[in-house]
Structures are given as structure tokens and as C-alpha cells.
């Protein structure tokens, strides 16, 4: 098939557009990584913009790793992310599945009440008072329980459950299966795309928690990673360093960004397929 000039021109335009968008995504990431690894002298020689450094230094990362609080904060963030995401998934799934069944009495009322909380939230002060009265202040659980369910994630998961064929559920009930058995034996294996998608949403939120930690956590040993990284960046502004080991605040910021985003960047390629499937299914089904 011979392509016309218009078709060739259109394909060239699309390729150029895709290349431009790709560069817009890759260049900032490469800049952040390079800036955190480039000696300050080379950064100054290049006017503050380096994509491929000639020399590599790990001074910024070594400076951060010397702080024992960083290791403690990594453990805290890992606990919050793993345990929090598991509880988020369990509770969200246990709420979304029954409300996805049309025969549930009062289903529409419960759904409206849940959506109401997404439109009108209690606010920071009432939430703080609730956390305080439940005895969760200065506890890692204060960063998990108040955000146990996100309404948006609940809606997406419910929409996915509603799109599952009812014949499977009817056949299971005829064979004597109860609702819990149907949920864990039938629904869960079919819901891996949406479960992976919601897991990523919750995990990223827990890993990046900052404001809630400042409000609810008082002990530095219980602070998550994001808070400690922020404190280390501020501390770097006031520390006297030798000229050859100079670490400007910008370099510390870039290193902190790399440390904070590395786990998510490493995990995402392995779940990308399920993430795309779950996003499309949650948006279309229901």
C-alpha cells in the first residue's frame, strides 16, 4: 500500500510529537539524578545545568547516610507503606464488594453517605481531635487508621466488582459457597489488575506522607522518611563544609528526591501491566 504525502507527513508529525513528549518526561528525571551526582565545580562551570556529568561524586548520599535517623525513618516508612497498604486493601475490598451487589438492602443510602464524606470532609482540627482521643498521637498507627479508606479508590474498586459476570456468583451459590468464599476464591483471582492499581495508589500515598506525620508524630525516631529528608536538607544549609566537599542545598534536594522516589520507580515496571489494566477497567466498567 502506497502512502500519500499527507499520511507520511502525519506520521512524521506524530513521531516528532512523541519524541518531544518523551524528552519532556526523561530530561527532568535525568537532570535530578545528574545534579545529585555531579561535583559542585562542574555544576558551576556548566551554569547549573548538567545532564551527563563527567565526574561523579556520592558526597550528598554519603552525607545523608551518616545520619542514623535516615535508617530509622526508612524503617518507619516501610512499615507504614506495607502494613497500611495491606489494611487499606482489606478494608476497601470488604466495603466495595458488598456495596457492588444490587440486592444489598440500603445499598444506595450507604453509597451516598460514603460519597458525602468525599465532598465534605471534617477538616484538620476535628480529625486531630479524634486521633488524640483514640490515643494514636505519636504512634505510626496515626498515619494509617485515619486514611484507612479513600473514597475514590472505593468507587473504582466497586465499579470493577460490578463489572464481573453475575453468572459466576450464581454458580458458586448453587454449589453452596458463602459470600466470603466467593470473595476470596472467585473475586480476588479475577481482580488482580484493580487490586494492583489500588495498591499502588495507597502505597504512594503512605510512602509520601508528610503533613500527617508533622501533626500526629512528636518523637523523631517515629518520623517517616519524607520528614527526615526535609530536616536534613534544612540542616545542610547551616553546616560548614570544606570547599572540595561543598554540598549546596540544591544538591541535597536532588539527592533527597532520588532517595524518596527510588522504591516507587523500582517497583512500578513490574506492576505496570496490571496497573494499566486496572485503571482502564475501573474507568469503563460499571
| pLDDT score for 272 | 67
User: Which residues lie below 8 Å from residue 181, measured CB to CB, with a gap of 6+?
Assistant: 172
Q: According to the model, what pLDDT value does residue 85 have?
A: 93
Section 258-264 average pLDDT: 80
Query: Are the C-beta atoms of residues 206 and 81 closer than 8 Å to each other?
Result: yes
Percent of the chain with pLDDT over 70: 88
Sequence length of the chain is 286
Grid cell in block for residue 73: 525513618
Whether the pLDDT of residue 41 is over 90: the answer is no
Mean pLDDT in residue range 225-232: 82
The Cα–Cα gap between 153 and 171 comes to 28
Pair 154, 95: CB distance under 8 Å: yes
Mean pLDDT of the 164-175 span: 81
Q: Mean pLDDT, to the nearest integer, of 161-173?
A: 82
Q: What pLDDT is recorded for position 88? A: 94
Residue 238 pLDDT grade (very low, low, confident, very high; cuts 50, 70, 90): low
Mean pLDDT of 227-252: 65
CA 247, 255, 54 angle in degrees (round to 5)?
70
Q: Looking at residue 285, what is its pLDDT?
A: 47
Task: State the pLDDT at residue 16.
Answer: 92
Q: Is the pLDDT of residue 273 over 60?
A: yes
Exposed/middle/buried for 160, CB within 10 Å: 0-12, 13-18, 19+? buried
Q: Which of 100, 204, 192 is nearest to 155 (CA)?
A: 100
The stretch 108-135 carries a mean pLDDT of: 87
Average pLDDT score over residue span 162-182 = 82
User: Would you say the C-alpha torsion 237, 239, 240, 246 has a positive or negative sign?
Assistant: negative
Q: Where are the alpha helices (DSSP H) in the chain?
A: 5-37, 40-45, 59-65, 68-99, 107-119, 124-133, 151-162, 166-174, 179-182, 188-190, 192-207, 211-216, 225-236, 249-284
CA distance 203 to 199: 6
Nearest-CA neighbor of 88 among 153, 136, 158? 153
Tell me the mean pLDDT in the region 50-72: 78
pLDDT value for 243: 39
Instruction: Quote the strand ranges of 58-213, DSSP E.
Output: none
Q: What pLDDT score does 20 carry?
A: 92
Amino acid at each position: 500500500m502506497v502512502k500519500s504525502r499527507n499520511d507520511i507527513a502525519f506520521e512524521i508529525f506524530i513521531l516528532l510529537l512523541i519524541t518531544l513528549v518523551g524528552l519532556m518526561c526523561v530530561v527532568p528525571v535525568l537532570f535530578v539524578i545528574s545534579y545529585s551526582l555531579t561535583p559542585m565545580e562542574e555544576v558551576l562551570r556548566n551554569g547549573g545545568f548538567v545532564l551527563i556529568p563527567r565526574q561523579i561524586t556520592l558526597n550528598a548520599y554519603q552525607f545523608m547516610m551518616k545520619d542514623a535517623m535516615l535508617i530509622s525513618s526508612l524503617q518507619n516508612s516501610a512499615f507504614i507503606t506495607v502494613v497500611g497498604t495491606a489494611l487499606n486493601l482489606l478494608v476497601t475490598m470488604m466495603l466495595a464488594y458488598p456495596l457492588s451487589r444490587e440486592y444489598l438492602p440500603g445499598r444506595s443510602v450507604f453509597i451516598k453517605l460514603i460519597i458525602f464524606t468525599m465532598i465534605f470532609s471534617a477538616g484538620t482540627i476535628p480529625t486531630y481531635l479524634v486521633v488524640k482521643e483514640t490515643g494514636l498521637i505519636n504512634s505510626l498507627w496515626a498515619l494509617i487508621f485515619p486514611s484507612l479508606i479513600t473514597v475514590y479508590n472505593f468507587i473504582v474498586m466497586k465499579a470493577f466488582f460490578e463489572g464481573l459476570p453475575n453468572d459466576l456468583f450464581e454458580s458458586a451459590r448453587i454449589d453452596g459457597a458463602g459470600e466470603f468464599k466467593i470473595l476470596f476464591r472467585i473475586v480476588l483471582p479475577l481482580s488482580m489488575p484493580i487490586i494492583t492499581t489500588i495498591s499502588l495508589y495507597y502505597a504512594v500515598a503512605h510512602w509520601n506522607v508528610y503533613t500527617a506525620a508533622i501533626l500526629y508524630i512528636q518523637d523523631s525516631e517515629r518520623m517517616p522518611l519524607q520528614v527526615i529528608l526535609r530536616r536534613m536538607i534544612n540542616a545542610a544549609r547551616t553546616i560548614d563544609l570544606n570547599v572540595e566537599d561543598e554540598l549546596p542545598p540544591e544538591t541535597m534536594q536532588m539527592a533527597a528526591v532520588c532517595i524518596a522516589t527510588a522504591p516507587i520507580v523500582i517497583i512500578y515496571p513490574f506492576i505496570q501491566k496490571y496497573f494499566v489494566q486496572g485503571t482502564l477497567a475501573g474507568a469503563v466498567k460499571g
